[in-house]
Amino acid sequence: MASMRTARRMFCAAAQAAATPAPSSRWERLKRSKAGVWCGSLLSDYKEAFREMVVGAWERPLKSSVYLSLLGGAYVCFHTKPDQSSFEAALLERSNQLSLLSPWIRNGISDGHVQSLVKLRNEGRLRYASLGLLSVVYRADYDPDATLYEARCSNLSVPWRELPQRVLDVGFTGCWWMLDSKMKDYDINNDEYKHLPAHLQTTTPPSPQQVERNERLHRDSWLPLTMEDKEEERKPVDKMENVSEQSQIKL
C-alpha cells in the first residue's frame, strides 16, 4: 500500500509539472508589464501618425511642400541666429572702421549710433536675449554686477512691456540689421553739403550711355599717343611754303 501511494504521488507531481507553463523570458515579462504596454501603444500611435503623414503628403504635394519649406526655413533661421559674441565682434569692427576716418568725413548718424553702443557696452548695460528664430540686443539701466538697491529690487525692475522701446538691434539670419543699416554710407558726411543748393545736395545715378562713354574714355586714356594727325597737318603747310618760295624766286 505504501508503494502504491508513493507511485501515485510521483504521477501527480509529474502531471502538475506538465500542466504548469514554462517560465517566460525576461523580454516577455518586460513586454507584458505596464511600462512595456504603454511604450508599445506609444510606438503604435507614432507609427500610425507617420503613415498618415506620408499618405497625406502623397495626396497633397503642394501643401506638404509649403509645410516642408516653412520647417526648413525655421531650422535655418534657428541655426544661423547670431549670438552675443557676434554682436560684440560686429560692433568693434564698425568702431574700427570709423576710427580710420577723419571726424570731418564721418557720417553723423553712423558715428553717433556706434559711439552710443560702445558707451553702453563699456558701462555693462547691453543685454542679449534669444527669441528662438531671432535675437535682440536691448539696453538696461544698470550693470548686472551693480549692488545698488534700485538695481537689485525686483519691484523697481523694468517691465517687459517697455522692451520694444529699449531694443537696440535685431539679429536674424546671421546679421545685425539695425547696425548694418546705420553704417550705410558711413564715410559720407551729409553736413558738408547743407550749404549747397537743393539740386546739388542729391545725386542721380548715371545712365547706361554715360557709363559706357566714361568706360570708353577710360580705356582710351591708356592707349599710346599717335603723331600721324600732326604729320598730315604739317604736309599742306610745307607745300604752301614751297609754292611761296618758288613764286618769290621767279619774281
Grade residue 151 by pLDDT with cuts at 50, 70 and 90.
confident
Model confidence at 241: pLDDT above 80: no
Query: What pLDDT, on a 0 to 100 scale, did the predictor assign at position 117?
Result: 92
CA 116 to chain centre: 23
Model confidence at 19: pLDDT above 50: no
Residue 24 per-residue DSSP state: P
- Placement of cell 568702431 in the chain: 95
Query: What pLDDT, on a 0 to 100 scale, did the predictor assign at position 115?
Result: 92
Residues 6+ apart with CB under 8 A from 128: 83, 84, 87, 135, 136, 137
Query: What pLDDT, on a 0 to 100 scale, did the predictor assign at position 228?
Result: 61
Model confidence at 1: pLDDT above 60: no
Q: Are 110 and 98 in contact (CB under 8 A)?
A: yes
Query: What pLDDT, on a 0 to 100 scale, did the predictor assign at position 229?
Result: 55
Question: Mind listing the pLDDT tens digit for each residue in 173-206?
Answer: 888 999 989 988 888 888 877 777 777 777 777 8
Query: What pLDDT, on a 0 to 100 scale, did the predictor assign at position 232?
Result: 56
Query: What pLDDT, on a 0 to 100 scale, did the predictor assign at position 118?
Result: 92
In single-letter form, the type of residue at position 133 comes to: L
Question: Mind listing the pLDDT tens digit for each residue in 91-133?
Answer: 999 999 998 988 888 888 899 999 999 999 988 889 888 888 8
Q: Nine-digit cell at 237?
A: 603747310
Higher pLDDT, 135 or 23: 135
For residues 124 and 44, give the distance between their C-alpha atoms in angstroms, rounded to a whole number: 53
Grade residue 73 by pLDDT with cuts at 50, 70 and 90.
confident
Counting beta carbons within 10 angstroms of the beta carbon of residue 118, is it exposed (0 to 12), middle (13 to 18) or buried (19 or more)? middle
What is the rounded average pLDDT of the residues 7-32? Answer: 58
Percentage with pLDDT > 70 across the chain? 79
